[in-house]
């Protein structure tokens, strides 16, 4: 890859622990055996993003894509593993370099209504962070905010308005302007277009592509919508219950999905050109991440599963340059339990 690496994560795991509550502790004194519940939200993920690249994290609810996105954006500390920003481990950084990372990776959330303070005017929402971080002085703030508003396609006259006075698409644009205000190199977009109407979604996707071109931004694009992902991303990471089960270039994955889950996902996507189709289905539901199945997490739903899948977690197998799949089918077959 020619472009310079911007961010790399290695062996990232994130666990959330739900401690035993008071009632449980009292019950334990009486002889019950309540233990703390541990959710492996993200389990040993490696990933890298180059400058100006769009990487997509895809998966269904509970697969850990949002948690991973938050680790990448520096909102969550990983339980295990290391995050490198421009080749430097952020855990080893001094505060000045650390700030370059925290400002350099910005997050855009799904629901602009719950991520914008309803009592603060749009201009202040966008202008606060650059002023606090000394990117702009108080005198230049108004002009700076106006520039950002124009950049995301909002009328600068709307600066005095409150978030509720905007439409859904405009609120999404405010969220984008706020992220852009601190001159980031990487935007982590967590389902940022999922709640928008189709025509507005197209406008915002076009805006993302324009900004990428104009500012050389890299994106980590988190979505459950494979149509959106196919359109916007260079590489895809497909996640299932905390693990990356397949990754590679977008066009390759869409042409030739290697993992049975990827195949099922692609088959299940509603498409404009698939008329009056019979919907093929994957059996069963997504298991609870509190209690994931042993071996390969997907094996209870997998049409091709064999005895080995239930006992042994699949290793990552490199299929070709940059193309990785975690499935026994690509690694010696499903039959023999080792």
Partner 1 sequence: MAEPVLAVDNLATHFFTRDGVVKSVDGVSFTVAPGEVLGLVGESGSGKSVTGFSIMGLIDPPGRIVSGSIRLKGEELVGRTEAEMRAVRGRSLAMIFQDPMMTLNPVLRIDTQMMEAVHAHEKVSEKAARDRAVQALAQVGIPSPEERLSAYPHQFSGGMRQRVAIAIALIHRPALIIADEPTTALDVTIQSQILAEVQKLCAESGTALVWITHDLAVVAGLADRVAVMYAGRIVEQGLVDDVLDRPLHPYTHGLIGSVPGDSMPGKRLMQIPGSTPSLGRLPPGCAFEPRCSRAVETCRAGAPPLAQGSHGRAYRCINPVPAEEAA
Residues that bind partner 1 (CB under 8 A): 60-61, 167-170, 197-203, 205-206, 209, 224-228, 230-232, 250-251, 264-265, 267-282, 285-286
Residue 167 CB, nearest approach to partner 1 (Å): 5
Q: Which is nearer to partner 1, 61 or 95 (CB)?
A: 61
| Residue in 235, 293, 234, 238 with CA at minimum distance from that of residue 264 | 238
Angle between helices 198-215 and 168-180 (to 10 degrees): 20
Report the C-alpha gap between 73 and 57 in whole angstroms.
Answer: 13
Report the C-alpha gap between 321 and 318 in whole angstroms.
Answer: 7
- The separation between CA 74 and the C-alpha centre of its own chain, rounded to angstroms, equals 12
Residue 206 CB, nearest approach to partner 1 (Å): 5
Residue 261 CB, nearest approach to partner 1 (Å): 9
End-to-end CA distance of the chain: 36
Contact 56, 230 (CB under 8 A): no
265-274, Cβ contacts within 8 angstroms, sequence gap of 24 or more: 265/58, 265/226, 265/238, 266/226, 269/226, 269/227, 271/227
Q: Which is nearer to partner 1, 105 or 226 (CB)?
A: 226
| Residue in 57, 14, 285 with CA at minimum distance from that of residue 293 | 285
Q: Which is nearer to partner 1, 93 or 195 (CB)?
A: 195
Residue 202 CB, nearest approach to partner 1 (Å): 4
Residue 209 CB, nearest approach to partner 1 (Å): 6
Q: Which is nearer to partner 1, 103 or 236 (CB)?
A: 236
Burial of residue 60 (CB within 10 Å: 0-12, 13-18, 19+) is middle
Q: Which is nearer to partner 1, 105 or 239 (CB)?
A: 239
| Residue in 197, 191, 256 with CA at minimum distance from that of residue 225 | 191
Residue 285 CB, nearest approach to partner 1 (Å): 5
Report the C-alpha gap between 166 and 180 in whole angstroms.
Answer: 19
| Residue in 254, 194, 188 with CA at minimum distance from that of residue 224 | 194
Q: Which is nearer to partner 1, 71 or 232 (CB)?
A: 232
Residue 336 CB, nearest approach to partner 1 (Å): 29
Q: Which is nearer to partner 1, 264 or 326 (CB)?
A: 264
């Amino acid at each position: 890859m020619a472009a310079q690496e911007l961010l790399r994560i290695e062996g990232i795991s994130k666990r959330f622990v739900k401690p035993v509550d008071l009632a449980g502790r009292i019950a334990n004194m009486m002889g019950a055996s309540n233990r703390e519940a541990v959710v492996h939200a993200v389990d040993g993920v490696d990933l890298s993003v180059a400058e100006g690249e769009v990487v997509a994290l895809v998966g269904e609810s509970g697969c850990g894509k949002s948690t991973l996105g938050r680790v990448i954006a520096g909102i969550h500390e990983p339980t295990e593993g290391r995050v490198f920003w421009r080749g430097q481990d952020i855990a080893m950084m001094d505060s000045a370099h650390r700030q370059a990372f925290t400002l350099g990776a910005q997050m855009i959330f799904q629901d602009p209504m719950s991520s914008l303070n309803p009592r603060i005017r749009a201009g202040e929402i966008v202008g606060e962070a650059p002023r606090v971080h000394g990117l702009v002085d108080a005198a230049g703030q108004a002009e700076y905010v106006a520039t950002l508003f124009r950049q995301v396609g909002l009328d600068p006259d709307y600066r005095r308005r409150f978030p509720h006075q905007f439409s859904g698409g405009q609120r999404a644009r405010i969220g984008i302007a706020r992220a852009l205000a601190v001159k980031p190199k990487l935007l982590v977009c967590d389902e940022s277009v999922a709640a928008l109407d189709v025509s507005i979604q197209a406008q915002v996707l076009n805006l993302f592509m324009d900004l990428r071109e104009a500012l050389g931004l890299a994106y980590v694009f988190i979505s459950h919508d494979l149509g959106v992902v196919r359109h916007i991303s260079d590489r895809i990471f497909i996640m299932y219950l905390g693990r990356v089960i397949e990754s590679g270039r977008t066009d390759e994955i869409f042409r030739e999905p290697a993992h049975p889950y990827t195949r099922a996902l692609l088959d299940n996507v509603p498409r404009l050109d698939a008329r009056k189709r019979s919907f093929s289905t994957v059996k069963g539901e997504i298991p609870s991440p509190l209690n994931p199945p042993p071996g390969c997490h997907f094996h209870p739903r997998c049409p091709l599963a064999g005895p080995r899948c239930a006992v042994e977690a699949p290793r990552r197998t490199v299929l070709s340059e940059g193309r990785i799949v975690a499935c026994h089918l690509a690694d010696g077959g499903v039959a023999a339990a080792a």
